[in-house]
């Protein structure tokens, strides 16, 4: 089972970047690195906070790359120098600091907003000007310090971003308020509440965004956690434990029941069954005997195996899966941050208009104070509060109602991607099906089904194998009584040999019964139908003086409730549907027929699943991948939108933009519907945010708006944006 490796040239360098906050930061880091001689193909990922590049051999030492990033105003270090545990500790501490800053800022801002609430009830009340200054100053220069730092970096690089907008707008409101306070003793309207509210609310949005970005590294950590730290190998006639990193091709691994396989290899002794769902998606354990291949990271079930290592370290199947996920996450996503793009133009335009207003009034013969008031009015009306709230408030409301419905959304990029989806790929095992073996049919050679199920079920009472549990569950559901179990012997990878009521019963694989010289013609005839449907088979016989075949039990995987309805709803919405699986073709076709899906791909490895995503994208589709297994992780990460089931592997959820907390396929169309509504709200919010500026800036420049009215308009724009976002609370599944 080979997985196509991701090409990793020796000249590839990965840097961890610190201090990025928006798309313009990404652009500046990319430009700084691209200017280093010998560097090419620079790609900076804001979510993972990594920069990937290629360099000519012998050029651009890591120290030069770090220096280039630092000269652009950011921090950098080679990824290999980053200890994951230390990184997690630092991230947790930074998040705690950000929440503390926001909490203190919110407590200081709330009293400044109370007079606005009183005005809404027809009461005129204001805090003394000195009190307003005392409350607003820590917010402006302590909580807002980050905006000044990053805004200055943007200005120094001759570009604009949200930090620069926040710094300019709040400084204008704060500076005008301080001027009025000093000049008139607070007898006129002040704008401290505007500057403090902007910093507080935009800070909240940034805290939530940072939390979403940190979650993107969980996928690789979860994958790496599959490797056992130690492996047991044969040395000089004995067994010794070594670090997995020390394994080499040709070593002989000794794998006990319940242990994970430490490397890819071939069984040279022993029989067992292995859970290989992480790679193949196979819902049933795979029998292992001498000559069979085993996959590193798979779980050995019930037998002792000796395995000759064929591939270790970065050459193993699991390591290549990790590389696929890492490459998919590092690639550029087609997500555009509209506010940051517009801000780069908006800031210099507003500055130019403000300066032009100042000069125009002075040339017209107005006094300096009137000119300054008009110029500041332009900056106040252009305050980016509504711009800063347009996206975060819609996301906060939508993610809240989504969580209530059982859908966890990682970030705004996932919602934006979901809005454009026109094709959905479903994994089969564990996604559209239950993902566990279940008894589907009992086919006796002679006699009735109940007798056969009673004998085989009774023989399985001593087994812990998933197939044995499926038989026992089937007997329980059908109300079949079990008989006392006598002698019992489990043969790993083959079946069970038990005595039931004085009769010796064999139940297991076809090969198991063939080894006991049981005539198989009648059993093969019964098995032909279930085998054509891709069902697993349990052969049963009574072993006596003359072995006698008893019958066949068919084991399969059932559809999840609501799977057919989810597919139908998506199709009615004009969305193309495909089904992919690592299972055999007959199994896939049987499930697809029940669901009405025509586009089916079976027998796929993780790299093949990612290739199916690429196939649909090449045809012009925007693709969502829905899966739950580790083997789905590369496809989930490379799709335009990954949707994982929380009942599956943690890595599947970590590699996805959305996670369904309930294993209900109907949540897939519901999540896409919410994304459509959320993106629509964001666009509406941005329209209103810009509309106030488009109308208000000319009025302010002409002196038709005082700073007080400009501040009120700015505040009302924020209220309208928040109120529009709150309409999303009415959304319900279906």
Q: Which is the catalytic residue, given 98, 427, 557, 583?
A: 427
- The Cα 573–Cα 575 span in angstroms is 6
Would you state the structure tokens that stand for residue 150, as one six-digit string? 């990053």
Q: What is the DSSP letter of 419?
A: T
* Centroid of chain to Cα 606: 17
Q: How far is CA 578 from CA 54, 166, 593, 710, in A?
A: 36, 46, 12, 54
Helices 707-726 and 667-701 pack at an angle, to 10 degrees, of: 170
> Known catalytic residue: 497?
no
Is 143 in contact with 112 (CB distance < 8 Å)? no
Quick check: helix, strand or coil at residue 69? helix
Q: Which two tokens stand for residue 399?
A: 């993610």
CA angle 111/112/118 to nearest 5° reads 80
Report the half-sphere exposure of 240 (CA within 13 A, side-chain side): 9
The two structure tokens encoding residue 681? 């709200």
Alpha-helical segments (H) within 121-144: 129-138
Report residue 647: phi and psi, to 5°.
Answer: -75, -10
Given a contact cutoff of 8 angstroms between Cβ atoms, the answer to whether 112 and 213 are in contact is no
Q: Tell me phi and psi for residue 260, to 5 degrees.
A: -90, 145
Beta-carbon count within 10 A of 138 CB = 14
User: To the nearest 10°, the Cα dihedral for 93, 95, 99, 100?
Assistant: 20
**Strand 576-580 to strand 299-300: parallel, antiparallel, or no bridges (unpaired)?**
unpaired
Cα 139 to Cα 724: distance, rounded to the nearest angstrom: 27
**Could you give the residue numbers annotated as active site?**
427
């Amino acid at each position: 089972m080979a997985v196509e490796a991701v090409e990793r040239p020796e000249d590839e360098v990965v840097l961890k970047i610190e201090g990025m906050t928006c798309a313009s930061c990404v652009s500046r880091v990319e430009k700084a690195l691209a200017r280093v001689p010998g560097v090419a193909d620079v790609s900076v990922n804001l979510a993972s906070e990594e920069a990937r590049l290629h360099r000519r051999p012998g050029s651009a030492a890591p120290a030069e790359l770090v220096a280039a990033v630092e000269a652009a105003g950011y921090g950098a270090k080679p990824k290999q120098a980053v200890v994951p545990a230390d990184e997690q500790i630092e991230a947790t501490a930074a998040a705690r600091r950000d929440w503390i800053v926001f909490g203190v800022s919110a407590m200081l801002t709330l009293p400044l907003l109370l007079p606005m609430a009183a005005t809404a009830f027809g009461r005129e009340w204001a805090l003394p000007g000195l009190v307003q200054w005392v409350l607003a100053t820590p917010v402006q220069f302590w909580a807002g310090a980050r905006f000044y730092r990053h805004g200055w970096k943007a200005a120094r690089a001759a570009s604009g971003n949200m930090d620069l907008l926040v710094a300019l707008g709040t400084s204008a409101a704060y500076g005008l308020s301080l001027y009025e306070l000093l000049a008139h003793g607070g007898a006129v309207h002040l704008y401290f509440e505007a500057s403090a509210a902007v910093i507080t609310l935009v800070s909240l949005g940034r805290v939530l965004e940072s939390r979403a970005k940190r979650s993107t590294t969980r996928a690789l950590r979860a994958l790496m956690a599959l490797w056992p730290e130690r492996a047991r190998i044969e040395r000089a006639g004995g067994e010794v434990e070594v670090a997995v990193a020390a394994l080499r091709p040709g070593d002989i691994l000794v794998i006990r029941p319940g242990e994970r396989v430490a490397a890819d290899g071939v069984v040279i002794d022993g029989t067992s069954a292995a859970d290989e769902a992480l790679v193949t998606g196979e819902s049933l354990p795979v029998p292992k005997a001498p000559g069979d291949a085993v996959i590193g990271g798979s779980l050995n079930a019930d037998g002792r195996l000796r395995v000759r290592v064929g591939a270790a370290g970065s050459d193993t199947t699991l390591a290549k899966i990790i590389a696929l996920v890492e490459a998919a996450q590092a690639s550029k996503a087609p997500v555009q941050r509209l506010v940051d793009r517009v801000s780069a133009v908006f800031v210099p335009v507003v500055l130019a208009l403000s300066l032009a207003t100042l000069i125009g009034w002075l040339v017209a013969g107005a006094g300096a104070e009137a000119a300054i008031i008009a110029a500041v009015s332009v900056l106040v009306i252009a305050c980016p509060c509504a711009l800063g709230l347009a996206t975060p408030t819609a996301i906060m409301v939508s993610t809240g109602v989504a969580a209530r419905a059982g859908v966890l959304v990682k970030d705004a990029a996932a919602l934006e991607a979901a809005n454009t989806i026109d094709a959905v790929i479903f994994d089969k095992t564990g996604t559209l099906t239950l993902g566990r073996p279940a008894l589907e049919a009992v086919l006796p050679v002679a006699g009735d089904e109940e007798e056969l199920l009673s004998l085989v079920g009774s023989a399985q009472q001593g087994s812990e194998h998933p197939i044995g549990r499926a038989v026992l569950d089937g007997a329980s559901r059908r109300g079949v009584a079990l008989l006392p179990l006598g002698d019992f012997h489990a043969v790993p990878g083959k079946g069970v040999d038990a005595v039931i009521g004085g009769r010796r019963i064999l139940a297991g694989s076809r090969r198991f019964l063939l080894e006991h010289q049981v005539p198989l013609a009648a059993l093969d005839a019964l098995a032909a139908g279930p085998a054509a449907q891709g069902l697993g088979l349990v052969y049963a016989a009574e072993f006596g003086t003359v072995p006698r075949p008893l019958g066949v039990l068919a084991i399969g995987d059932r559809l999840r409730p609501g799977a057919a309805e989810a597919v139908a709803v998506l199709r009615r919405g004009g969305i193309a549907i495909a089904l992919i699986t690592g299972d055999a073709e007959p199994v896939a076709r049987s499930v697809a027929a029940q669901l009405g899906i025509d586009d089916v791909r079976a027998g796929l490895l993780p790299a093949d699943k990612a290739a199916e995503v690429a196939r649909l994208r090449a045809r012009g589709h925007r693709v969502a991948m829905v899966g739950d297994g580790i083997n789905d992780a590369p496809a989930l990460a490379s799709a335009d939108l990954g949707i994982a089931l929380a009942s599956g592997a943690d890595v599947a959820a970590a590699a996805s933009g959305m996670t369904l907390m309930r294993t209900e396929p109907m949540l897939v169309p519901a999540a896409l519907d919410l994304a459509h509504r959320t993106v629509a709200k964001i666009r509406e919010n941005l329209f209103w945010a810009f509309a106030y500026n488009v109308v208000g800036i000319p009025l302010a420049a002409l002196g038709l708006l005082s700073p007080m009215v400009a501040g009120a308009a700015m505040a009302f724009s924020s209220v309208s944006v928040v109120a529009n976002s709150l309409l999303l609370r009415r959304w319900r599944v279906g």
